[in-house]
A and B are shown apart, each in its own frame.
Chain A
Amino acid sequence: MASNSLTGRGRWPQPDSLLSGLGSGLAGAGPGGAATGGRWLAMVGGTALGVLGLQRSGWGGAVMALGGAGLFAAGALGLRPFGERSLGTAPDPGAWRHQGPATRRRSLTPERTQAVVTIASDAGTIFRFWRNFANLPKLMPQLERVDVLSATESRWIAKSATQAAKGAAKGAAGESAGEVPNWRCVLDRVDEDRLLTWHTVGETALPHRASLMLSPAPGDRGTEVRLTLVYRVPATEVAALLGVTPAGQAEEALRRLKQRVETGELSTIERQPRGGTSGPFREATE
């Protein structure tokens, strides 16, 4: 079935299959605009050929209909049978960053990521939960623990990327054997129920600063919570060390914060029964 071919790995239609095929075909004026002309030609031509084919009888009609359908599909899926240059040849807006000797660090500027969520609770409850940094491993599964050293200082100890990903006790690449990413943080600003900012101090593989900003949502909707993370190393490096990108870290932390505050638990399907153990595991494709 067609829907299965889109979902073979248990996912919804992904970019470069259904959605972007239709989406970029319809977007027209975007960066892909120049390349969509041929696709429209294929889709319109394919439709015309298909309709003509369907009106005829016999094998000729069937072949025309089939050809039309194929052409339409090619256009819709962005295969561009009339051969424009691929979108991939468009200039890379980030190319200037690559000038000079190739290094692992592709970004010279700090990488900033922000996530936002609305929580059906008062700012005070949310602020108090976060303000106690010892709670943060509940929100950031990549942390082993956070030791609060003083009113403003804390030491954060991460699980290594391999630990975080597989639960193994091995150190991640880039860390010396037996050592896991860790850093010391100091609080900068504590604006009760509104703003909390902190940054790393001293030597660490993951220098960063961060802020949590709370503001009342309109009506009775609760509190809007913004988490900003600014890493001074590229996202790829954060992912290599922590097992999660900064964007993933921020989003997951807020998702868990919302669940903790609103429901007191984290929704899960862990440890639930399932079948399929009697035979070999098969993916959902035909």
Chain B
Amino acid sequence: MKALCWNGTNDLRVERVPDPVLVNPHDVIVKVALSSVCGSDLHLIDGYVPTMRPGDIIGHEFLGEIVEKGPEVRYLNRGDRVITVSIIGCGHCGHCRHGESSLCDNSNPNPEHARTAYGHCGAGIFGYSHAFGGYAGSHAEYIRVPYADFNAFRVPEGVSDEKAVFVSDAVPTGYMAADMAGIKPGDVVAVWGCGGVGQMAMRSASLLGAERVIGIDRVPDRLRAAQMKAGAETLDYSRVDIFDALQAMTGGRGPDVCIDAVGMEADSGSNAVEDFYDRAKQAVGLQTDRPAVLRQMIESCRKGGTLSIVGVYGGLIDKFPMGAAMNKGLTFRMGQQNGQRYAERLFGHIRNGELDPSYLMTHRLPLDDGPQAYRMFKEKADDCMRVVFAPQG
């Protein structure tokens, strides 16, 4: 089959690889119909996530049809149209049982990397480096899905492929960001990053009762989409001072909830010295992640407010304003998404018309265009929010 493989920093190639096979009794094989790029893939492509190996198939947000199933798969059948949560849970360990499947004890077959770096090991993720299990990704014609009964969800009738595919990752990530922030009526929620996850976080914040939602980005079409599609007010961080603007918009209190939908490759937009410092330290390996968004959130958030972090971080950061965070009494919530907990609820919102993620798909391309598509996505060219591949053509 055809697959999009990582072969080094900024080196993606479409290659011929063997078809996947059933290995474990709870596996299914999915024939991939749609597979989306994700902002977090850029961290892999840019070389910021260690433990990638040449030949690794990337991609983790996908929809398709089950074509084979293992002998112990109970609830799913051949022919089912399913989405699969990008972060793999076993469904049985303590974390999976408590709705924290991204912390699954069992799904990462290669726990040593994460244990060394993090103390404990989290779940396996499709197409997201060997620290997260080394599972082959979804930018391919077929993919093996382990523990399928727990990770794959039948798409309800009446929900189109274009809407459903994002329930794999972007929608639950954004929803979880809003959900774990504990939004209360009257809250003002600020979301850093108006890409796919940020858009979904903004919409979810409204669904969960936020009074006002403010989206922060510098890409004009993304800010436009935040206004038109996600119902947010927007701030362009390349034009205004974010702290001043947020205080002005909130009567000097600051937003009650600040959501990070950016992650480790952030820039501050306004403070050239800070950006130079972070890039220099990242370049010589003295920090792995750039925390400009975290610093802005800590500074801007209201006293006693909550920071909810779903942008991906990988390692160490520097100049983290812990004094401000502590003395302002901030609450930090963070984590990879626990989509298994949200998938049914999100399909419900989509069916009711309260949520339509299909506008994230600005481009639909064949897998052969993979390398160019990621370049366009990275450069945010041609108003690109998300490219979705159709590996079957």
Interface residues of A (CB under 8 A from B): 1-7, 10-14, 17-19, 22, 69, 72-73, 76, 118, 120, 221-222, 255, 258-259, 262-279, 281-284, 286
Contacts and interface: CB of A to CB of B under 8 A. Distances in A.
Nearest to A284: B52
Interface centre among A73, A272, A282, A283 (most CB of B within 10 A): A272
B284 to A, nearest CB: 5
A1 B46 contact: yes
Interface in B272-302: 280, 282-286, 288
Contacts of A267: 24, 90, 106-109, 124, 133, 146
A127 B108 CA distance: 25
A43 B299 CA distance: 27
B48 A265 contact: no
A107 B105 CA distance: 35
Contact of A3 (B1, B8, B25, B288): B288
B56 A265 contact: no
Contacts of A275: 3, 5, 7, 13, 15, 17, 54-57
A268 B90 contact: no
Contact of A277 (B25, B55, B140): B55
Interface in B11-58: 13, 15-21, 23-26, 46-57
A1 B9 contact: yes
Nearest to B108: A267
Nearest to B286: A76
Interface stretch (B91-99, B332-340, B347-355, B360-368): B91-99
Contacts of B97: 120
B244 interface: no
B14 to A, nearest CB: 9
Contacts of A263: 26, 90-93, 106, 147
Contact of B17 (A1, A12, A69, A274): A274
A277 B54 CA distance: 9
Q: Is the interface of A mostly helix, strand, loop or mixed?
A: loop
11 contacts: A2-B283, A10-B51, A12-B50, A12-B117, A14-B116, A258-B105, A262-B93, A274-B136, A275-B56, A278-B16, A282-B7
Interface centre among A265, A272, A275, A282 (most CB of B within 10 A): A275
Nearest to A22: B316
B106 A2 contact: no
Given A3-B47, A265-B26, A286-B9, A255 B111 contact: yes
B130 interface: yes
A13 B117 contact: yes
A273 B136 contact: yes
A18 B316 CA distance: 9
Contact of B285 (A6, A11, A262, A274): A6
Contacts of A276: 5, 7, 15, 53-55
Contacts of A284: 8-9, 47, 50, 52-54
A2 B106 CA distance: 31
Contacts of B147: 263
Interface of B: 1, 3, 5, 7-9, 13, 15-21, 23-26, 46-57, 72, 90-94, 97, 105-111, 113-114, 116-117, 124, 130-131, 133-136, 140, 144, 146-147, 280, 282-286, 288, 314-316
A10 B50 CA distance: 7
B5 A274 contact: yes
Given A7-B50, A264-B72, A265-B25, 7 more contacts: A1-B48, A18-B316, A72-B286, A266-B109, A271-B23, A272-B136, A276-B53
B277 to A, nearest CB: 10
B371 to A, nearest CB: 13
A119 B91 CA distance: 13
B25 A264 contact: yes
Nearest to B110: A269
A12 B114 CA distance: 8
Given A3-B47, A275-B3, A276-B54, A13 B315 contact: yes
A76 to B, nearest CB: 6
Contacts of A264: 25-26, 72
Nearest to A72: B286
B94 A273 contact: no
A12 B131 contact: yes
Contact of B92 (A1, A120, A221): A120
A281 B54 contact: yes
B103 to A, nearest CB: 13
Contacts of B133: 267, 269
Nearest to B51: A10
B26 to A, nearest CB: 6
B284 A69 contact: yes
A120 B94 CA distance: 6
A5 B18 contact: no
Nearest to B4: A275
Contacts of B108: 267
A17 B315 CA distance: 13
Given A263-B92, A268-B24, A269-B134, A274 B282 contact: no
The 7 closest A-B pairs by CB, nearest first: A276-B55, A275-B5, A7-B50, A275-B15, A1-B47, A12-B117, A2-B285
Given A13-B117, A276-B5, A271 B21 contact: yes
B107 A273 contact: no
A10 B285 contact: no
Contacts of B111: 255
Nearest to A12: B117
Nearest to A277: B55
Nearest to B135: A269
Contacts of B13: 275, 278
A279 B13 CA distance: 11
A171 to B, nearest CB: 28
A118 B24 contact: no
Contacts of A286: 8-9, 47
